[in-house]
Structure 1
Amino acid sequence: MTTLFPIPENHPQRFVLHNEVHARAPSIGHLPVRASHLALLLSSDEKMQERKHLTALCERFGVAPPEKDVDHFSATFNSFQIRWEQHGEFSTYSFYVHDTPKEPFADSALKKVPVDWMSHLSGQVIVAAHATIVTAADIHYQESTDLASLSVHFANNPVVGSKVTGGAASVFTDFRIHVDGFSRFLIVNHDLRTEQAGRLLQRLFEIEVYRVMALLAFPIARQLRPALNKSDRQLYSITNAMTLPDNNDGELLDELTTLAAEVENYISSNHFRFAAASAYYQLVQQRVNDLREVRIQGIQTLGEFIKRRLEPAINTCESISQRFTQLSERVSNASQLLRTRVDIIIEKQNQGLLTSMALRAKMQLRMQQMVEGISMVAITYYAASLIGKIAEALHLVGWKLSPELVEGISIPFIFIIIAISTKRIHKIIANTTE
């Protein structure tokens, strides 16, 4: 790329990273608008399949399909607008139609989408929601009137809502799934600009998706509670047994090792889900703050309703996760303590064994010394006998010698020579082993 100034070469990812701030920008054609939103949980294979399915829709309407590696796509077809995003665990489809029926939810945006294409979408629905932006005159809305009249649009369910985006709109919902399988958001336009409307719709849909995704960890937390309590009681039993004088440390160590493996398996199997729940909950809080809610007298705001219902579930998930982490640390501490005790016992046994071996070696040395003394006497006896035989032979050939006298005189000299030789051998061996 040609530059106006002599600066170094661009990083390969510079423009991709720079333009990331503009990715997934909310955009709708104009007001009024009806929107339908789907969030689908998909496997890796289903994610590959949905790209092909989306490309087939584009080819059907003669629209350029998304590029191979993109994870978001927007396009306008004949009678509707689509926005697709692929996330780590799920994908979302938003469909927009720019008209307003007589009743806000009488005719959804999905009716403009080909039925055969919709029926072959991959994945499992985790969130489905309708949203409609209307004017106050369309539904005869006045803030001073009884807001209970709004519940007719929500199957007479209690409604929560607030003014948002600096008072430019009012949002109402009941956070329930209706007979068509969709939840509903009714947006009353007071002074919304098109860009504001796009951002508002996106925030509302994201709140609904992230709220449900955060709650995926809640059933897991409830299922794990009995296992957590059982493991906690088992650890108490083991540590209590460790204080008894007649316990079997080897068996306790085996039980602790098994318990540690079970606890670590629980943690590793569910760590991602609990961490994701915390991250999704933070996103929900951020999106609620972005709405800039102002209370409408007489009803709860969206933020109050979500916090009251969602926060206890998230706290439960965090509590279970923290308790498992603490239990793992306690098991590790107990294992380390028990291993220390076992090591001390083994060390004492080894020390006793070494003492016994040293005693046996000392006894063997004493016996060896006694045998050496006897051996010296025996060697002296045989050497003196040999000298006596030699003296007898010399006497027979004419030497005037007394064999008995010669043999008797040689005994002390032979014994001294053998003793000196033995001592030198001991000294040589001692020098060699040092």
Structure 2
Amino acid sequence: MQCLAGHLNHPLRLPLAGEIHARPFMVLEAPARISHLAIHADDDPAVHDRRLAALCARFGVAAPAAGAQHFFHDFGHFRLKWERHTEFSTFSFVEAGEDGGDFQLTALRHVPADWLATLQGTVIVASHLIAERGSPLGIADRRLKRLFPLPPLVGSQVLSGGEIWTDFQVGPDGFSKFLIRDIDLRESQMGRLVQRLGEIETYLMMALLALPLAREGAGLLGRIEEDLSELGSRMSSLDIDGDAEGLLRELSRLDGRLRAQSFRTGYRFSAAQAYYRIVGARIGELREQRIEGVPTVGEFMERRLAPAMDTCRSVAARQEALAGKIGRSNDMLRTRVNLAQERQSQSVLASLSRSASRQLQLQQAVEGLSVVAISYYGIGLAAYALKALKGWGWAIPVDQAVGLLLPLVAAATWLGIRRLHRRLHTASS
């Protein structure tokens, strides 16, 4: 059999192939007690590795390498399945139990209390699950009333051989509770069912993290819309010479507030929709069948989670629509500012044109004076030269010669100045 050399593989082939087998289902048989914790700590991803390493160190177990995505080990009194996700990690503690028990004894009692104390402020989901064998229960069963005393009671038949019961309530001890009954489940289905229920509650809570932001954002968007409406009224009454730049500054301030809100909530809203889709997919995998008198998990989520996600979607859409309105108003104001600036530029150009015209007129006047002045000095020099020649014995009528030279010097001076102007104009162009 021919073996494929390792260097022939694409560098990402093995890591990508490993993703297919990441987070395998736990092998679990009833009866058992399960305690499930989901730890949210997106500000420091390395904290997930540290917490797992600290727990393993307490029991003398080698922790997985940094960056591992899942871990499973038998600690003696309990088994642990750990999974790491983008924003959270999950710890599932499993202990063999007995049929017909309640939630007084849990798998979590074997976990050191000081280690649990290090999770303060980060537990987003905490639940106890009882997995047992038995026949179907009815809604009037006294044990169900004792285990889940507060409404609403949620239940369904799942995977064509199992039954689940819960109320999705967080009890006084901080834990929600699930009862899972193996009526006729096939091998490995119990492990899949336990994992799916843990994932449904975890992704449910992760999706709902966006709801407080949506409610807070709705109030902020309302205030921004009021300010934008006021600016719109002022824009409609603004004449062409009004203070459009002042309105533009106020509009830019509103745009900055909206962008800050969008940056703060954008990722959370998109993540909520992704988590919501996962919740729907996990519920679909349960293949629920109704138990008369109680809602199924899917119906419960449709009534409780769907409106919350609709709220998040509406706030996100409202943000985008408001950003578009601000953008259009910004364009209108900038157009008005540009028109005002063009009018100012035209006024400046007209003023420069008038100034240039006056300068030309002044230049022409000065040019005439220059011709007279230069001609005057030229005739004076010529007169001195003629007088000198007459003194040396030349018979020259000085006054007559000066009179004849005067128009010639003036004409030569005028032609010289005009020629100089033409040269300068040619050089500047």
Q: Quickly name the TM-score band, shorter chain normalised.
A: over 0.9
Letter in structure 1 aligned against 2:332: L
Output the TM-score relative to the length of structure 2.
Answer: 0.93
Change (3 A) 1:6 1:125: closer
Which of residues 69, 84, 95 is equivalent to 2:67? 69
Partner of residue 174, structure 1: 167
Partner of residue 54, structure 1: 55
| Cα distance in 1, alignment partners of residues 251 and 404 from structure 2 | 79
Partner of residue 145, structure 2: 151
Aligned partner of residue 188 in structure 2, secondary structure? helix
Alignment length, in residue pairs? 425
Which of residues 90, 106, 109 is equivalent to 2:107? 109
Letter in structure 1 aligned against 2:85: H
Any gaps of 5 or more consecutive residues in structure 1? none
**CA RMSD in angstroms, aligned pairs only:** 2.2
2:154 matches 1:160: yes
Change (3 A) 1:292 1:388: same
Letter in structure 1 aligned against 2:381: L
2:20 matches 1:21: yes
Aligned partner of residue 90 in structure 2, secondary structure? strand
Report if the CA contact (8 A) 1:170-1:189 is conserved. Answer: yes
Report if the CA contact (8 A) 2:26-2:81 is conserved. Answer: no
2:322 matches 1:332: no
Q: Deviations over 1:307-352 (max 9, x none)?
A: 1001111111111122112212221221122111111111111111
Which of residues 291, 310, 315 is equivalent to 1:315? 310
Superposition pairs for residues 382-401 of structure 1, below 5 Å?
A: 382-401=377-396
Deviation at 1:261, TM superposition (A): 0.9
Deviation at 1:290, TM superposition (A): 0.9
2:279 matches 1:280: no
| Cα distance in 2, alignment partners of residues 142 and 388 from structure 1 | 139
| Cα distance in 2, alignment partners of residues 385 and 142 from structure 1 | 135
Letter in structure 2 aligned against 1:297: E
Superposition pairs for residues 261-300 of structure 1, below 5 Å?
A: 261-300=256-295
| Cα distance in 2, alignment partners of residues 253 and 24 from structure 1 | 54
| Cα distance in 1, alignment partners of residues 58 and 49 from structure 2 | 15
Report if the CA contact (8 A) 2:228-2:326 is conserved. Answer: yes
Report if the CA contact (8 A) 1:31-1:194 is conserved. Answer: no
Superposition pairs for residues 200-215 of structure 1, below 5 Å?
A: 200-215=193-208
Q: Deviations over 1:62-81 (max 9, x none)?
A: x4432233121111121211
Report if the CA contact (8 A) 1:101-1:107 is conserved. Answer: no
Change (3 A) 1:399 1:117: closer
Report if the CA contact (8 A) 2:150-2:167 is conserved. Answer: no
Letter in structure 1 aligned against 2:87: E
2:80 matches 1:82: yes
Report if the CA contact (8 A) 1:389-1:403 is conserved. Answer: no
Report if the CA contact (8 A) 1:104-1:134 is conserved. Answer: no
Deviation at 1:267, TM superposition (A): 0.8
Change (3 A) 1:241 1:120: closer
| Cα distance in 1, alignment partners of residues 6 and 209 from structure 2 | 50
Report if the CA contact (8 A) 2:165-2:180 is conserved. Answer: yes
Report if the CA contact (8 A) 1:34-1:96 is conserved. Answer: yes
| Cα distance in 2, alignment partners of residues 209 and 78 from structure 1 | 27
2:412 matches 1:417: yes
Partner of residue 252, structure 1: 247
Superposition pairs for residues 163-242 of structure 1, below 5 Å?
A: 163-165=157-159, 167-242=160-235
Q: Which moved more, 1:398-407 or 1:384-393?
A: 384-393
Q: Deviations over 1:372-411 (max 9, x none)?
A: 1121122222222322232233333332221110110111
Letter in structure 2 aligned against 1:103: G
| Cα distance in 1, alignment partners of residues 247 and 147 from structure 2 | 64
Q: Which moved more, 1:416-425 or 1:7-16?
A: 7-16
Partner of residue 133, structure 1: 131
Identity %: 37
Letter in structure 2 aligned against 1:422: I
Report if the CA contact (8 A) 1:53-1:121 is conserved. Answer: no
Output the TM-score relative to the length of structure 1.
Answer: 0.92
Partner of residue 368, structure 2: 373
